[in-house]
A and B are shown apart, each in its own frame.
Chain A
Amino acid sequence: MSKTVQKVIVLGSAALKIGEAGEFDYSGSQAVKVLKKEGVETLLINPNIATVQTSEHLADRVYFLPVTPPFVEKVIAKERPDGILLSFGGQTALNCGIELHHQGVLNKYDVKVLGTPLQTILDTEDRDRFVKKLTEIDVKTPKSQAVGSLEAALSAAKDLGYPVMVRIAYALGGLGSGLCQDQQQLQELVTKALTYTEQVLIEESLKGWKEVEYEVVRDRFNNCITVCNMENLDPLGIHTGESIVVAPSQTLTNHEYHKLREISIRTIRHLGIIGECNIQFALDPQSHDYRVIEVNARLSRSSALASKATGYPLAAIATKLSLGYGLTEIKNAVTETTMACFEPSLDYVVVKMPRWDLKKFRHVTRRIGTGMKSVGEVMAIGRSFEEALQKVIRMLEIGMEGITDAPKLTDGQMHEQELEKPTDQRLFFIFAAMSKGISIDRIYELTHIDRWFLFKIHKIFSMQQRLLKFSNGIVPSHILLEAKRMGFSDKQIALILKSNENDILSMRDNYNIHPAVKQIDTLAAEFPAKTNYLYLTYHGCEDDVRANGTKTVLILGSGAYRIGSSVEFDWCCVNAVRTLKKLGYRTVIINYNPETVSTDYDECDRLYFDEISLESIREIYRKEEAAGIIVSMGGQIPNTLAPKLHGLGLKVLGTTADAIDRAEDRNKFSSLLDELNIKQPPWIEASSFEEVKAFAKRVGYPLLVRPSYVLSGAAMAVASHEAELAKFLRAAAVISQEHPVVVSKFIQNAKEIEIDAVAKQGEMIVYAISEHIENAGVHSGDATMVLPPQRTYLETIRQIKRIARDIAAALKIHGPFNLQFVAKDNEVRVIECNLRASRSLPFVSKVYRVNFVDMATQVIMGEPVQKIDKSFMELDYVGIKAPQFSFMRLVGADPTVGVEMASTGEVACLGDDFDEAFLKAMLSVGYRLPVHRALISSGPIVSKAELLEDLRGWQQLGVSFYATGGTATFMNRHGVKADSVHWPLEKKQPNALELIQKGGVDLVINIPKNFQEEELTNDYIIRRAAVDYNIPLITNLQLAKRFIEATLKWDFDALPAKSWREYRP
């Protein structure tokens, strides 16, 4: 090999967003690990503070900065690295790299792009060049034309014939792509697309063709292998990130498999990729015909999936190849005896399913298609398709115990349209259709899902029917075994038999039916493997591994990334494992999210890539002869299981299951607060509308409403008056004895403050208090957090500390916890309590450089831990955490923030003062500077007044304004000049909508008039247009004020690029 570089920059993918999620923490972490091992000085630029890759023990220096050319250039100028890795941070890193190349920055500083050459990247990203390259080697691509104008698009579509596919170059996650049935649809899509790209592709439609992918690896010696192939259950037309995917392919013959493999290798060699890439095919389900859809010349979501599906560490290998190694010089990390130049053979089947959170958004369309909407994914491993499919459904954590639970979502209804025009629920409607006796042929016609998959789903249906016959609850052992092998969980069988989970469990114990532990060894048992990568299956007669030694601790992972729970909990788990290892424990992780670092098998002693359920945990606990389970690091899923695990006699480590229950149960927690004399907003649990009305009369509006069963729309809402309350409860929620609604007083114009802490036997030993920029009413996950607090009264902080101490003592908290407060006029009320690691734990740990998880884990294991008495209030710098929204992908969703969380990720930046850190954080999540022209709708009169002086400041800076009706009048009357524009619905010129569509402004500030706008109002149209046309949008008054104030203080070019280490606590 020829290692020529000494110092390398790795670009991360910034905040998690739809289309770019945790998979790049996995790939970036592996890259950094390999570079370090190779002795290369490693710099990482990534503002995503919750990631594992930005941990202290990995890169030599971490920069929490926007992954944009100006900042990357600053770091390059300062550090003078000789190499850069662009393929480990998704499209964000790749696009940034391409720009740096075009701007001549890489040349200027003599920075070498490692791995796949830039020329190759450009060849794969530009459709025209891509097609030309593939034609050179007789590889077929979809017939298409690249166009740069609407007229050209229309004429191209005319040539190809409708329907046509529209694709966009340089897009992450298929953004803006779509199928157009007619001219009108094409017009809409292309007009929008051309606002943020110069090139659009009009393509022949291959609807109904199979979608197949290969993960390909190539070294500089021209060795080229395909590590994994994958088949999408959903045919072409649904983005692979939105598809249910199986690995390896199931319905391809040898001829098809190897034909596509050969084309993959031919293509990748011709393009000249060095490292890893992904190639996607369309395969005609009626012939040998095929098309190459695209090549991603970088690590991707699919490569993360393929790594986990095969045990082949693609990102690590890609890094080594980028450094000049050959595949024949690298060992297979799983077997440790064989070589990395081989293609894994699987002896199991893997099913991946996307996790959507569409119900969190108002007005959003649930249709899925060529653009991504899912926020995460889960992966199941089994030895039959049925087993893996039912596992993966449970892993989604959407309240489904298996596919037989379909009626919960479908209401027992079956609409053919649901099959033909897929939504996030299509799989369940397929099952519903089978229940209604619709034939497999008909379902195939509507869905084009290969009949083989449909047959398998039907088998599950037949098993359900067989089980239904045992209404006495006793199932013969051979049938129970068969059901278990088809992935029926104990709980699922109990639901079908109307018995309970424990009865099925004892029946299983009696019959001695237990799952077997199998290894993932990359070679299907052909060679002995040292692998610790494991899963459970009921298709097995022996375990591959045995319990090994004492002091074994299970750590439960966080499951699917979703809104409200993502990479931060992976960071917590990985750190807990590191501490446990240091303390001499054997660590066993259970998790099933392929986008995580915790599921890298080199992180722990054993990894069970399996369900985090009572059933599987109990089996693993027994097999591993575990000493206990840590439930406090993986977020809410493990936390909720704690009392039940305790009930089964398994040892829950840390805070007791009883205490967790007292904090989780609203009534119990409320009484506790009363006992401790701690204030909380008044609340009731009501089972009728009358009760709620009476409560409203007593405490007054606005009210925060939380139904326990939601029909449509978001689960939580704020009602400002009775009519709104009535409307919400009637339209969106079921309210009854069985499904009560929790209503609490919503406190307005209050500050929201949080404390993250660790307690030992009820004594708080370390804490961090942070304040929100936004007033209370914005979900803490969507709020911008400031650490340490800059605008909170000392008296408030004192009260918060006292309350935290009292609660910790009362619940005898032994581990991490988080409390949230609203404070108004020095009156502090508790609104939330979690006896587990919280979302903000990596943020506070990294800003303070005190690892809260390490401390908590030591506490949990009974180690002596020094209490940290130091107050962090006088820190010389400030950390700001900002949310990342993905509204652009959620067609139709109202891009506002409220009580229901909507952000998909977050970043955090550091600065010597608040404004510096704040601006960097805002730039990291997509805001752009400088602002020249802004469109203002400043909402109610109070906020109009509050914003006025800031706008005046901007005017002096040279910013010009457009404003809607009332806002324009108000601003002009008070001496801030604003050009008045009409509301969108007024359909008069000049119009706000047109202004946005034409790109006439570079920022939109739109403050909603009330908490919960349900209608498609003028404001909604403006907000939505801003998002659709990629213009930064601010909808919160406090945020708008801070943003303007910060830009008045800081010039964009002056923002410094300092590494994490340069800020000293």
Chain B
Amino acid sequence: MHSYIELEDGTIYHGFSFGYPASVSGEFVFNTGMTGYPETFTDPSYTGQIIVLTYPLIGNYGVPRIEVRDCLASGAESEKAHIEGVVVADYSPEYSHWDAEQSLGDWLKEQKVPGITGIDTRALTKRLRQKGTMLGRIVNDDKLVDFYDPDKENLVAQVSIPEPILYQGGNKKVMLIDCGCKSNIIRSLLDRGVSVLRVPWNYSPSNDKVDGILVSNGPGNPQMYAETIRNLETAMRDGLPIFGICLGHQLLALAAGAETYKLKYGHRSQNQPCVLVGSQRCYITSQNHGYAVDDRTLPADWQHWFFNANDSTNEGVRHRSHPFMGVQFHPEAFPGPNDTAFLFDDFIRQLSS
């Protein structure tokens, strides 16, 4: 079925509908990962966004069975698709994998997510790169839906959990502030033998006694989440080890007094090289973010930790004397490389003893 894309600058791309056959609008972003679409689509950080995949062949291995227990999904990074829509060049309805349960199209239909295929995703990506991230819509049956700007909403409130949940994993306990947390962050902690208290985005850390705090990834503009930032300021005064990932990193930086800004088109990929400041070591990282921490605004008692080798943007900060650290990339991977998984080990080593 014919379907088309319209961007806010008026550009139109024609293609064919797959997945859920409805019109949808959101912020158009592109992702250059070559594998891992189920993980990508279920990452809550994509809330409000229509994702353009630059790798053209999508759907090849179907979608695995996604099981959810205690709000913890296996087979995916959350219990459902968080993207608003998906744009691909060559969707494959035929799939093949021992682990697959259904085709991507069928799953998207079930998740009520529209897809469009047959698009010159390279041309579209270049447009987004040149003009910056844009609002836009996928139109089916000529039904126009209004452009929608997710940055103006508190998206985290939509994707966080309503009530705290405790996952037993060991003696030490980490409070996980869920801003739209990917499952593998929880698994990465549990696998290392610590218990995880997963709490809502605006939950106060002083409510419970824990050994450390991890602030998760999540969608949207970090400056929207003043409550979380305030809570982190308080937590830092307590001196507990804090580890921020992606949005969590930005929130930590804001709490420290630094500023954030929106990147022209963000980093959404699995091949971002990040250099450890002051060394020759470079790590390949998985990323998904539209905002970044402004290095120049970092207070004196904080230091640059990692920087992006491609465009020199900030990729990590840490406090000079306290165990507070944040990284812009995703050490939990899924999708993407797990080169920086050691950061979880570092964090756990620092938990108060």
Taking Cβ atoms with an 8 Å cutoff, the residues of A that contact B are 219, 221-223, 225, 248-255, 257-258, 261-262, 265, 285-287, 326-329, 337-339, 341-349, 383-385, 450-452, 455-456, 459, 516, 518, 523-528, 539-542, 544
With A285-B98, A540-B120 in contact, do A526 and B61 touch (Cβ < 8 Å)? no
Q: Which residues of B contact A523 (CB under 8 A)?
A: 32, 271
Q: Is the CB of B90 within 8 A of A383?
A: yes
Check if B336 is an interface residue, CB within 8 A of chain A.
yes
Q: Mark B101-131, 1 if CB is under 8 A from A, else 0.
A: 0000000000000000010111101100100
Interface of B is mostly: loop
Stretch from B20-28, B159-167, B207-215, B278-286 at the A interface: B278-286
Task: Please provide the chain B residues from 38 to 68 with a CB less than 8 Å away from any CB of chain A in the complex.
Answer: 38-39, 54-57, 60-61, 64
Chain B neighbourhood of A255, CB < 8 A: 334
Cβ-neighbour of B56 out of A261, A384, A452 (below 8 A) = A384
Are A326 and B55 neighbours in the complex by a CB distance under 8 Å? no
Q: Which of B64, B95, B120 contacts A452 (CB 8 A)?
A: B95
Question: Measured between C-beta atoms, what is the minimum distance from B179 to chain A in Å?
Answer: 22
Q: A339-B310, A347-B56, A526-B269 are in contact. Are A254 and B280 (CB under 8 A)?
A: no
A660 to B64, CA, bound (A): 59
Q: Which of B32, B35, B57 contacts A384 (CB 8 A)?
A: B57
In the docked arrangement, what's the CA distance between A262 and B334, Å? 13
Question: Interface on B for A, CB 8 Å cutoff?
Answer: 13, 30, 32-36, 38-39, 54-57, 60-61, 64, 89-90, 92, 94-99, 118, 120-123, 125-126, 129, 269-273, 275, 279-282, 284, 309-311, 333-339
Known A-B contacts A257-B35, A349-B57, A525-B126; the reply to A341 vs B309 at CB < 8 A is yes
User: In the complex, are the beta carbons of B121 and A347 less than 8 A apart?
Assistant: yes
Given contacts A349-B56, A540-B120, contact A526 B32 (CB under 8 A): yes
Given the complex, which residues of B lie within 8 Å of A253, measured CB to CB? 35-36, 38, 61, 64, 97, 99
Known: A326-B280, A341-B273, A345-B34. A383 touches B56 (CB 8 A): yes
A262 to B338, CA, bound (A): 7
Task: Let me know if A249 and B35 touch, CB within 8 A.
Answer: yes
> How many Å lie between the Cα of A342 and that of B54 in the bound state?
17
Contacts of B123 in A (CB 8 A): 540-542
For A251, what are the chain B residues with a Cβ–Cβ distance below 8 Å?
A: 60-61, 96-97
Task: Tell me, in angstroms, the Cα distance from A251 to B100 when the chains sit together.
Answer: 11
B281 touches A526 (CB 8 A): no
Bound Cα distance from A799 to B309, whole angstroms: 67
- A–B Cβ pairs within 8 angstroms, 10 of them: A258-B337, A328-B282, A338-B309, A341-B282, A345-B269, A345-B270, A347-B125, A523-B271, A526-B269, A540-B123
Contact residues in B for A337 (Cβ distance below 8 Å): 310
CB-CB under 8 A from A341, the residues of chain B are 273, 275, 282, 284, 309
Within the complex, the shortest CB–CB distance from A459 to chain B, in Å, comes to 8
Do residues B333 and A223 form an inter-chain contact, with CB atoms below 8 A?
Answer: no
Taking chain A's interface residues, is the majority helix, strand, or loop, or is none over half, making it mixed?
loop
- Which residues from chain A contact B92 at a C-beta distance below 8 Å? 452, 455-456
Of A252, A342, A451, most B-chain CB atoms within 10 Å: A342
CB distance from A463 to the nearest CB of B (A): 14
Known contacts A225-B284, A338-B309; A347 and B338 CB within 8 A of each other = no
- From A223, A285, A347, A540, B55 is in contact (CB under 8 Å) with A347
- What are the residues of chain B within 8 A of A348 when measuring CB–CB? 56
- Complex CA distance for A347 and B54, rounded to whole angstroms: 5
- Contacts A341-B282, A540-B120: A452 and B61 contacting too (C-beta < 8 A)? yes
Shortest Cβ gap from A335 to chain B (Å): 8
- Closest-CB distance, B306 to chain A (whole angstroms): 12
When the two chains form their complex, are residues A452 and B122 in contact, meaning their CB atoms are under 8 A apart? Answer: no
Contact indicator B60/A250 (Cβ below 8 Å) = yes
Q: How far is the CB of B36 from chain A (nearest CB, A)?
A: 3
For residue A542, which residues in chain B have a CB less than 8 angstroms away from its CB?
120, 123
Chain A residue, CB-CB nearest to B336: A258
Whole-angstrom distance between the alpha carbons of A758 and B280 in the complex? 54
In angstroms, Cα B229 to Cα A792, docked, is 92
Q: Are A451 and B32 in contact (CB under 8 A)?
A: no
How long is the Cα–Cα vector from A285 to B311 in the complex, in angstroms?
Answer: 39
* Contact A345 B57, beta carbon cutoff 8 Å: no
In the complex the two chains form, what is the Cα distance from A126 to B90 in whole Å? Answer: 44
Given the complex, which residues of B lie within 8 Å of A261, measured CB to CB? 337
Min C-beta distance of A342 to chain B, whole Å: 4
CA of A541 to CA of B4, assembled, Å: 14
In angstroms, how far is the closest chain B Cβ from the Cβ of A543? 9
Q: Contact at B125–A525, with CB atoms within 8 Å? A: yes
The closest CB in chain A to the CB of B64 belongs to: A253
3 nearest CB pairs, A to B: A254-B36, A455-B94, A524-B54
Report B-chain residues with C-beta under 8 Å of the C-beta of A524: 32, 54-55, 122, 125, 269
When the two chains form their complex, are residues B122 and A347 in contact, meaning their CB atoms are under 8 A apart? yes
> Is B56's CB under 8 angstroms from A451's CB?
no
Query: Which residue of chain A has the shortest Cβ distance to B128 in the bound complex?
Result: A525
User: In the complex, A255 Cα to B279 Cα: how many Å?
Assistant: 30
**When the two chains form their complex, are residues A339 and B90 in contact, meaning their CB atoms are under 8 A apart?**
no
CB-nearest residue of chain B relative to A335?
Answer: B310
Determine the chain B residues whose CB is within 8 A of the CB of A329 once the complex forms. 280
Query: Chain A CB within 10 Å — which of B13, B97, B122, B129 has the most?
Result: B122
Whether the pair B282, A223 counts as a contact (CB closer than 8 A) is yes
When C-beta atoms are compared, the residue in chain B nearest to A542 turns out to be B123
Residues of A within 8 A of B272 (CB): 342
Docked Cα-Cα span, A249 to B98, in Å, equals 16
* Chain A neighbourhood of B338, CB < 8 A: 258, 262
**In whole angstroms, what is the CA distance A528 to B265 when docked?**
13
* Contact partners of A455 in chain B: CB under 8 A: 92, 94, 96
A342 to B89, CA, bound (A): 24
Cβ of A137 to closest chain B Cβ, rounded Å? 16
CB closest residue in chain B, given A523: B32
Q: How far is the CB of A523 from chain B (nearest CB, A)?
A: 7
Give chain A nearest CB distance to B159 CB in angstroms.
21
Known: A254-B38, A345-B33, A345-B271. 16 other contacts (CB 8 A): A223-B280, A258-B336, A286-B98, A338-B273, A341-B273, A343-B270, A345-B34, A347-B54, A383-B122, A385-B90, A450-B96, A451-B96, A459-B94, A523-B271, A525-B32, A525-B54
In Å, the complex CA distance between A346 and B311 comes to 20
Verify B280–A252 contact, CB threshold 8 A.
no
Given contacts A347-B122, A452-B92, A516-B120, contact A254 B39 (CB under 8 A): yes
Cα distance, A326 to B281, chains bound together (Å): 9
Which of B275, B334, B337 is most buried by chain A, counting CB atoms within 10 A of its CB?
B337
Given A383-B56, A452-B94, A542-B123: A258 touches B333 (CB 8 Å cut-off): yes
Partner of B310, one of A265, A287, A338, A525: A338
In the assembled complex, how far is the CB of residue B78 from the closest CB belonging to chain A, in whole angstroms?
15
Give Cα A807–Cα B326 distance, bound, in whole angstroms. 78
Asked whether A221 lies within 8 Å of B122 as measured between CB atoms, the reply is no
Residue of B nearest to A522 (CB): B271
Instruction: Point out the residue from B89, B95, B311, B334 that lies within 8 Å of A383, measured CB to CB.
Output: B89
Contact A525 B271 (CB under 8 A): no
Contacts of B96 in A (CB 8 A): 251, 450-452, 455
A518 touches B282 (CB 8 A): no
Nearest-Cβ distance from residue A209 to partner chain B, whole angstroms: 12
In this complex, what residue of B is CB-closest to A384? Answer: B90
A523 to B39, CA, bound (A): 21
Given A222-B281, A349-B57, A248-B34 contact (CB < 8 Å): yes
A343 surroundings in chain B (CB, below 8 A): 270-271, 284, 337
- In the complex the two chains form, what is the Cα distance from A339 to B284 in whole Å? 12
B310 and A342 form a contact (CB under 8 A)? yes
How far, in angstroms, from A250 to B58 measured CA to CA in the complex?
A: 9
Give chain B nearest CB distance to A725 CB in angstroms: 53
Q: How far is it, in angstroms, between the C-alpha of A345 and the C-alpha of B310 when the chains are bound?
A: 14
Report the bound CA distance from A539 to B272 in whole Å. Answer: 27
On chain A, the residues within 8 Å of B269 by CB distance are 345, 524, 526
Known: A285-B98, A287-B98. A254 touches B282 (CB 8 A): no
Interfacial chain B residues near A285, Cβ < 8 Å: 98
Whether the Cβ atoms of B57 and A250 lie closer than 8 Å is yes
